[in-house]
Chain A
Amino acid sequence: MKGLLQKEFYQLWGWWLVSLGIFLAVSTLSGTSFYAVFAILMAGMLPGSMLSQDEQCRWDSYAGALPVSRAQLVAAKYLIALILIGTAWLLACVTQAIRLGLFTREWVLYVTFSLGVGLLCPSLLLPILFKFGSTKGRVAYLIGLGALFGVVAALSVSAEDGMAFLGYLQAHAALFPLVSAALFAVSWRLSVAFYQRREL
């Protein structure tokens, strides 16, 4: 496991820290939370990109011949997701505290919402990639996402409904990271089950 995590770090850590620094600096200087949330979102997407890279260079096949289990190969991606999201989230919490003030309503909303969003992305993406591979998996992910937005759009019959939904989300913001964390755990189990059955 140590070797697998080391591989992920070597491949993206330096690049990731620089990108994160830029996003957080822009967010603080521009006075908007968007870039800080985007940095966390990106942290959640990186393990999926690493899986695509692994397939391109055939590391996925080679790793199948190494003394590591399929569960460990999956765990490496989920752990690196947690480390990247955690780092981005903690640093973003600090920079946003400077901008919004510590424990203000906006800051607490930001902290809960960004963590929930960060965890949601790999939870949805990784099982699909482990099941179908990166090429088919991305197509399946986009179709699924499109269908989800379609359903949301169909349900939001008016702007008032949309605002009411947003208000509902704000009122229950504290639950969002908990739901995402639960989804993350389910997603991890699913990915292990999918990858155990995959032929390399």
Chain B
Amino acid sequence: MNALELNGLCKRWPGFSLEDVTLALPAGCILGLVGENGAGKTTTIKLILNMLRADGGSATVLGQDAAALDKNDVGVVLDEAGLPQGLNPGQIGRIMSGIFRNWDAACYARYLDRFELPHGKPYKAFSRGMKMKLAIAIALSHNARLLVLDEPTGGLDPVVRDEIVELFSEFTRDADRAVLISSHIVSDLEKLCDYIAFLHKGRLVLFEEKDALLERYGLLRCDASALDAIDPGAVVGRRDSAYGAEAIVRRGAAPAGLALSPVGLEELFIFMTKGAR
């Protein structure tokens, strides 16, 4: 079963449109949504959560149409955590117990302790990292089956980020659960994700299993004239400098015998974005 299915999802505003986003996230898996600022990641997430009305296509979440989704089953972390400034984590926990049907107060208290968040300190006095940790604690404390996370690791230091990434990974050990995560920190997604969706200027440039994606492309370092001799259709993106050229190349379309290095997700993302420009 797919935890999430998007079919031809569209949203249009003057000056920006998200067009024809089609992807599926199987249960038990993690999908990373990658894209530059303004690529449409947050718009996609808001359409999934029925916070925006789609202009076309459909979103099915946990087998339900997004418009009729039971959000008790979805844990959400938004880019701006969005919690009331003057309240403390203890009060926020009591509010959430009146909102979520399956709220687990003991689990929430454990996460507060694990993240070293003071129960009585007002939210407005928290750092951005602490605010995100609190939002993550809420998302993980009501037995959600799907986590929808918009830049959840932004503002966290590398050690905490690593811990959080591990938490999300643990979450999907139960095969009924899934995670959709958008992030600029591509290294986190590379560690965590089973699938990658790459958005660029409102278009879904690719959606693929991460391992297959990384196997399909290779990094070529050579001089510019050697790169010019390769079929342009095989080159996804290139970077020229005084010392030579670098390019991401489709392994299947590249001439045999080329020495291609393994490519990382971050390099792929940067080259593709620049190539698309």
Q: Which residues of A contact B (CB under 8 A)?
A: 1-7, 10-11, 53-54, 56-68, 199-200
Contacts and interface: CB of A to CB of B under 8 A. Distances in A.
B84 A7 contact: yes
**Can you list the 3 inter-chain pairs with the closest CB atoms, starting with the nearest?**
A62-B82, A3-B98, A3-B99
Contacts of B51: 61, 64-65, 199-200
Interface string B60-83: 000000000011101010101111
A66 B99 contact: yes
A58 B131 CA distance: 13
13 contacts: A1-B98, A3-B94, A3-B97, A3-B100, A4-B98, A53-B84, A56-B85, A59-B84, A62-B82, A65-B49, A65-B71, A65-B74, A67-B99
A2 B98 contact: yes
Contacts of B99: 2-4, 66-68
Contact of B95 (A7, A56, A58, A61): A7
B175 interface: no
A67 B49 CA distance: 10
Contacts, number: 82
B97 A61 contact: no
User: Number of contact residues on B: which range applies?
Assistant: 20 to 34
A200 B70 contact: no
Given A66-B71, A199-B53, A61 B80 contact: yes
Contacts of A62: 76, 78, 81-83
Given A3-B98, A67-B72, A67-B100, A11 B82 contact: no
A58 B101 contact: no
A65 B96 CA distance: 13
Given A58-B82, A67-B72, A67-B101, A200 B52 contact: yes
Nearest to B46: A200
B71 A59 contact: no
Interface in B28-50: 46, 49-50
Contacts of B100: 3, 66-67
B94 A58 contact: no
B91 interface: yes
Contact of B71 (A6, A10, A54, A67): A67
Given A11-B86, A53-B85, A200-B52, 16 more contacts: A2-B99, A3-B94, A3-B95, A7-B95, A58-B78, A58-B81, A59-B83, A59-B84, A61-B78, A62-B83, A63-B82, A64-B46, A65-B51, A66-B76, A66-B99, A66-B100
A10 B95 contact: yes
A60 B91 CA distance: 18
Contacts of A54: 84
Interface string B82-123: 111111000100111111110000000000000000000000
A142 B52 CA distance: 29
Contacts of A199: 51-53
Nearest to B82: A62
B83 A57 contact: yes
Contacts of B82: 57-63
Contacts of A58: 78, 80-82
A164 B217 CA distance: 86
B224 to A, nearest CB: 47
A74 to B, nearest CB: 16
A122 to B, nearest CB: 20
